[in-house]
A = this chain, B = another copy of it.
Amino acid sequence: MRMGLLGAGRIGRIHGLNVAARADASLVSVGDASPEAAAALAASTGAKTATAEAIISDASIDAILICTPTDTHADLIEAAVSAGKAVFCEKPVDLDADRIRRCLKVVERSGKPLMIGFNRRFDPNFAALESRLRAGDAGAIEIVSVISRDPSPPPVDYVKRSGGLFRDMMIHDFDMARFLLAEEPVEVFALGSALVDPAIGEAGDVDTAAVLMKTASGRIAQISNSRRATYGYDQRIEVHGSKGMLRAGNIHETTVEIATGAGFRADPVQNFFLERYAAAYRAELDAFIAACKGGKAATPSGLDGLKAQILADAATESARTGKPVSVTLGAL
């Protein structure tokens, strides 16, 4: 499988190296607005550099990985699927749900697979939990809890163009909640505060937030986010069900513990997504390649991306208005 990569930043670099390390795929070309970034990744992977246009129109390329800034995603997806490529795109498709809808129509007409980079579904721990949930180990699902806290807040400049915490950060948790609930939420209530960094509040965003959602059958999901956790990248899920409770926790930097008069001290948890989700990124690529080869639908799909975005929009509105917001994802 021959692949082209658009975007050689932090996340593009991960995917590019992961492709290059595979026996069943090769990285052909890398494109980036910064020629230096493209060249550096090309040098590490044996790929050549090219413009996005050249990569998309290269007939020898089977699939495109889109890791560019968010505002380019929808256009690039449309161009790539129209050129007959399978597409993997980092979340989100777009910050505007209507733009996503238009994009997904183009994808649908093309008949090409589109997979969205909700990497957490592929974390071996979370994936194992979900398998056991589907196998019925916890019985009927009642309460889904997702905790997600970044080690430190992004620069305020980033915050300003991010679409806000609910669309930029909690979108992963909306997808995880949907993944675990196995039933669409119908209502979203959100609270948000700027407690970590006043500049984030001045920029009109929040850095601390919590959401409650309910499905039609009464299942409850609770999500909490913080832009700053002093102890590392806090990533936990828990599902309470009729037969029991399933949870998957954090991974500490090492298993070393020291016991002294001050107590027992374990390491902080792994610091951020590059480390915490290294295995998830590899498994995500497995799934994308398997979908491309096997003619299976790619999951999470563009529709999954749209639904997470709608939930993020609803949470944004709820936090602004102070009222719960109804959503109808089932009918999309």
Chain A: residues with CB nearer than 8 A to chain B?
Answer: 21, 23, 44, 124-125, 128-129, 132, 137-138, 140, 142-143, 145, 149, 187, 189, 191, 193-196, 208-212, 214, 217-220, 222, 224, 226, 228-232, 234, 240, 242-252, 254-269, 322-324
Residue from A208, A234, A244, A323 with most neighbouring chain B CB atoms (10 Å): A244
A-B contact pairs, 21 of them (CB 8 A): A124-B254, A125-B254, A132-B256, A142-B196, A143-B226, A145-B224, A191-B212, A194-B218, A208-B220, A231-B263, A246-B257, A246-B258, A246-B259, A248-B254, A249-B257, A251-B255, A259-B269, A261-B268, A263-B266, A263-B268, A265-B265
How many copies, total?
Answer: 4
Task: Given A193-B220, A248-B256, A248-B257, output 17 extra A-B contacts at Cβ < 8 Å.
Answer: A128-B256, A132-B258, A142-B208, A193-B218, A195-B242, A210-B212, A210-B222, A224-B240, A230-B244, A231-B244, A232-B259, A234-B245, A244-B258, A245-B260, A246-B257, A250-B255, A324-B324
Report the bound CA distance from A232 to B252 in whole Å. 20
